[in-house]
Amino acid sequence: MKKNGLKTMVIVIIAAALCLGYYYYLTQRDTGKEEMTEVEMIISKDLEKSYPKTAREVVKFYNRILKCYYDQQYSEEQLGKITEQARILMDEELKEINTQEAYLESVKADIADYKKDKKRISSVNTESSKEIVYKTKDGRDYAYVGSSYFVKQTGGDKKSSSVAQTYILRKDENGQWRILGFYQE
């Protein structure tokens, strides 16, 4: 009887050691995948395959892009790709008056101003779906989506401010919401 009890105990100990070893292996192994930065996530989003479905989602994704401009680290090449993603969200009419080169230069100037003033966007709020205003004009659908930005200044007198903007979006011929413009309130 002692032999069977001893055998069973040895088998249980070996099985437990194997389970613990396997658990350790799974939790400690390098999967080879590093976590993507916000910049990389924005650049890698395939907007042709997974374009935001609502006007609110378009503005929320555009706000993620804005936060990247002012709060993230990126290369010159990555900045170009981020601005390309932003332009995909824009209405054709806005793109015509705001070429890729002009938009990129405008973004660079804004970023330089933010850095000079040591500002950063600490939080962004986008209106809830219930607060969005929808209108139809000349047979085209429009949406007015509000966002507010809380901007902190880390240098100098350390001021903080809130900026409210309303984005005007228009549905394109494919039924996708595109940013036509915005105004500050």
The pLDDT tens digits along the chain (185 residues) read 566 666 777 777 887 777 777 777 776 765 555 788 999 999 999 999 999 999 999 999 999 999 999 888 999 999 999 999 999 999 999 999 989 999 999 999 999 998 898 888 889 999 999 999 999 999 999 999 999 999 988 876 778 889 999 999 999 999 999 999 999 98
- How far is C-alpha 131 from the geometric centre of its chain's CA atoms? 22
Residue 111: its H or E element:
helix 100-116
The letter for the amino acid at 139 is: G
Supply the pLDDT for residue 3.
63
The Cβ-side half-sphere exposure at 136, using a 13 Å CA radius, reads 1
The Cβ-side half-sphere exposure at 54, using a 13 Å CA radius, reads 13
The letter for the amino acid at 112 is: A
State the burial class of residue 145 (Cβ atoms within 10 Å of its Cβ: 0-12, 13-18, 19+). Answer: buried
Supply the pLDDT for residue 138.
95
Q: Global pTM?
A: 0.79
Supply the pLDDT for residue 76.
94
Residue 164 forms beta bridges with which residues? 148
Nearest-5° Cα angle at 183, 93 to 149: 120
